[in-house]
Amino acid sequence: MAEAAAFAIDIRVYYEDTDATGVVYHANYLRYFERARTEWLDSRGLGHREMAERHGVAFTLADLSIHFRRPARLDDRLAVTAAIAERTPVRVVFEQEITRDGRSLIQGQFTVACVKVADFRPCRLPEALSKEFR
Amino acid sequence: MAEAAAFAIDIRVYYEDTDATGVVYHANYLRYFERARTEWLDSRGLGHREMAERHGVAFTLADLSIHFRRPARLDDRLAVTAAIAERTPVRVVFEQEITRDGRSLIQGQFTVACVKVADFRPCRLPEALSKEFR
Amino acid sequence: MAEAAAFAIDIRVYYEDTDATGVVYHANYLRYFERARTEWLDSRGLGHREMAERHGVAFTLADLSIHFRRPARLDDRLAVTAAIAERTPVRVVFEQEITRDGRSLIQGQFTVACVKVADFRPCRLPEALSKEFR
Amino acid sequence: MAEAAAFAIDIRVYYEDTDATGVVYHANYLRYFERARTEWLDSRGLGHREMAERHGVAFTLADLSIHFRRPARLDDRLAVTAAIAERTPVRVVFEQEITRDGRSLIQGQFTVACVKVADFRPCRLPEALSKEFR
């Protein structure tokens, strides 16, 4: 997992992300986590458009859980990681973390399910994509 | 205009709407204004789905301008108005205002253009809808 | 729990809530859930301002988990419930659900911790508030 | 203006930015524009914190107007510019543009006013900052 765990994107906290308590609004961390998953998928040639147009599938969130340790603040520079923790023929579990200066702020686990674009029904991950998740 | 100007919806300010300065984040007022336009259209039988499915048209924003006088704060109860200021065969101009206890906070003007759902090209307002904007 | 479970607010899905897949963007369900918790607290006299000004405390999210069953769509009318599932001297666990026409779409569990407004350190729920969570 | 006009940041469109029409939700362009203004200010040593802590001032939006020409879509790579169009002792007007592959999508004009952090009252731009806006 060492390699996968190394994947991370940098994010800066803007006003749009904060709320009146002075820290990042909790739902906005989910946006950060999704940006990292998107970039991770892209880095493996699994962009949204390619998956839909070439394979007829998309990913949809089935479950998520978040553990909040410390808040992020305006102007913070954050790193958001993405790594695969588990894979079944129909689901992929991402383990993700938001850190600031190497210190863990928020941890998240996201289970995404493969669905057909045509009817949003669950389906098996296409063989061609499956190997990218190993 | 007296009648049209009377149309308003009530909105409460939640944490999601605020930013670290303690007041509503500026882009979020646009969400408030759009909720009021949506309810105004609905009140005249011009819901998004009906317009798309029965008439093949949709509205898209062409221009907007906002004047900020006073900020709204967490837990505020606001009124957001919607009224037609002008109408041409292809465009409708809404004048809108956000008030708190009758006091004006923000004013906005939104020009929406009629487009065909199929190709997003500008088109004339269907005759059947046109009368609703008088 | 019958009484508590009955607490719900109504929400309409606007364009602002949706994404390019045509359904509600996943992070936005968290905004819906928080609106319901805010209204639940308010209905018991536990508004954000009163808690901060009279008791010097605030609630902060410690953990959350969400299970997605079915998506909500543009113009949907949803009900969002809030009920207390568990309470310790320093934490409160909310069980919440989003339904459409009585059918469950999304379930969420939110653990909120009591903190002092002054330094954001965890603290016990003030005696005066504690009884409201029974 | 040639130099100033050259300032731009790159932005990628994520799901969070889009709505059910398949393009970027209009209010989200304002978030893009603000990111560019923030980075422009930062590039001149005018970060939010420095301004508040060293000079006791902040910027607040007084007026904005947006002209929408073409929509941005999921996965688009955009450039967002920021340049000063006008400056008075109490206000600064930014002209901004969002482009894709050099083609103009959205134009915006934002008037920001200088206010004292202490009471949010309008004030003159501090001498030390004033020169940065030339």
pLDDT digits over B88-120, tens only? Answer: 989 999 999 999 999 999 999 999 999 998 888
**Is the predicted pLDDT of residue C38 greater than 90, yes or no?**
yes
Q: What per-residue confidence (pLDDT) applies to A6? A: 80
Which pLDDT belongs to residue A52? Answer: 85
Instruction: Compute the mean pLDDT over every residue in chain A, rounded to the nearest whole number.
Output: 91
Per-residue pLDDT, averaged over A35-40, amounts to 96
Q: Could you count the other beta carbons within 10 Å of the beta carbon of residue B133? A: 14
**Average pLDDT of D106-133?**
89
By Cβ distance, the residue of B20, B73, B74 closest to A22 is: B20
ipTM for the whole complex: 0.91
- Judged on CB neighbours under 10 Å (0-12, 13-18, 19+), A98 is buried
Provide DSSP, B15-40.
GGGB-TTSBB-HHHHHHHHHHHHHHH
For residue B34, the chain D residues in CB contact (below 8 A) are 26-27
C10: annotated active-site residue: no
Element at B49 (helix H, strand E):
helix B48-55
Q: Which of D44-53, D86-95, D117-126 has the highest mean pLDDT?
A: D86-95
Can you give the pLDDT at residue C27?
98
Tokens of D118: 């202490």
Whether pLDDT at C2 is above 80: no
Which of A106-110, B52-56, C61-65 has the least mean pLDDT?
A: B52-56
Catalytic residues of D: 19
Tell me the nearest-neighbour CA distance from D132 into chain A, angstroms: 20
pLDDT above 90: percentage of residues in chain A: 70
Q: Do A91 and A98 touch, CB atoms closer than 8 A? A: no
Touching D: which chains, 3+ CB pairs < 8 A?
A, B, C
Exposed/middle/buried for C89, CB within 10 Å: 0-12, 13-18, 19+? exposed
Question: What is the pTM (predicted TM-score) of this model?
Answer: 0.94
Residues of C with CB under 8 A from a CB of A: 21, 26-28, 30-31, 34, 58, 60-68, 71, 120
Q: Angle at Cα B27 formed by Cα A80 and Cα D19, nearest 5°?
A: 70
Higher-confidence position of D4 and B84: B84
> What's the pLDDT score for residue D118?
85
Q: Which of D14, D15, D73 is best to mutate for the C interface (most C CBs within 10 A)?
A: D15
Determine the Cα–Cα distance for residues B34 and D19; give it in Å rounded to an integer. 13
3-class DSSP state of A40: helix
Which are the contacts of C102, defined by CB distance < 8 A and separation ≥ 6? none
Of A41-50, A53-62, B85-94, D60-69, the one with minimum mean pLDDT is A41-50
Helix (H) or strand (E) segment spanning residue D26: helix D26-43
The one catalytic residue in B19, B42, B63, B75 is: B19
Q: Which amino acid is at A110?
A: F
Q: Which helix or strand (DSSP H or E) is residue C111 part of?
A: strand C103-116
Residue A72, min C-alpha distance to chain B (Å): 12
Residue A81, classified by CB atoms within 10 Å of its CB into exposed (0-12), middle (13-18) or buried (19+), is buried
Residue in chain A lying closest to C61 (CA):
A68
Which of C10, C19, C42, C119 is catalytic? The answer is C19
Collect all residues of chain B within an 8 Å Cβ-Cβ radius of residue A20.
15, 18-20, 22-23, 73-74
pLDDT at B4 over 70: no
Q: Give the Cα separation of D24 and B91 in Å (integer).
A: 21
Residue D77: exposure state from Cβ atoms within 10 A (0-12, 13-18, ≥19): exposed
Task: Nearest by CB to B15, from A15, A19, A73: name it.
Answer: A19
Give dist(CA C38, CA C35) in Å, integer: 5
Nearest to D40 by CA among D5, D89, D91: D5
Taking an 8 Å cut-off on Cβ atoms, the answer to whether C21 and D27 are in contact is: no
Minimum mean pLDDT range among A77-91, B39-53, D10-24, D63-77: B39-53
Categorize the per-residue pLDDT at C120 as very low, low, confident or very high, splitting at 50, 70 and 90: confident
CA of C2 to nearest chain B CA: how many angstroms apart? 27
> Which of B4-8, B112-116, C13-17, D89-93 has the lowest average pLDDT?
B4-8
Alpha-carbon distances of C36 from A85, A117, C6, C31, rounded to whole Å: 33, 32, 12, 9
At residue C49 the predicted structure's pLDDT band, cuts being 50, 70 and 90, is confident
What pLDDT, on the 0 to 100 scale, is given for residue B68?
97
C29 vs C119 pLDDT, higher one: C29
Residue D110 has pLDDT above 50, yes or no: yes
Neighbours of A73 (CB within 10 A): 15
pLDDT for D119: 84
Mean pLDDT (chain B) is 91
Which residue among A16, A34, A75 places its CB closest to the CB of D47? A75
Largest Cα–Cα separation, chain A: 47
Q: Does residue C51 carry a pLDDT above 90?
A: no
| From A10, A17, A19, A76, active-site residue | A19
Q: What is the pLDDT of residues D47-67, one digit of tens each?
A: 888 888 888 998 999 999 999
User: What residues contact residue D78 under an 8 Å CB cut-off, 6+ apart?
Assistant: D10, D11, D12, D13, D32, D72, D98, D99, D100, D105
Give the model's pLDDT for residue B45.
85
Can you tell me the distance from the alpha carbon of A46 to that of A41, in angstroms, rounded to the nearest whole number? 5
Question: Residue B99: its pLDDT value, please?
Answer: 98
Q: How close does chain D come to C24, measured CA to CA in Å? A: 8
Q: CB of A120 within 8 A of CB of A81?
A: no
- Residue whose token pair is 């007007």: D93
CB contact under 8 A, A16 and B19: yes
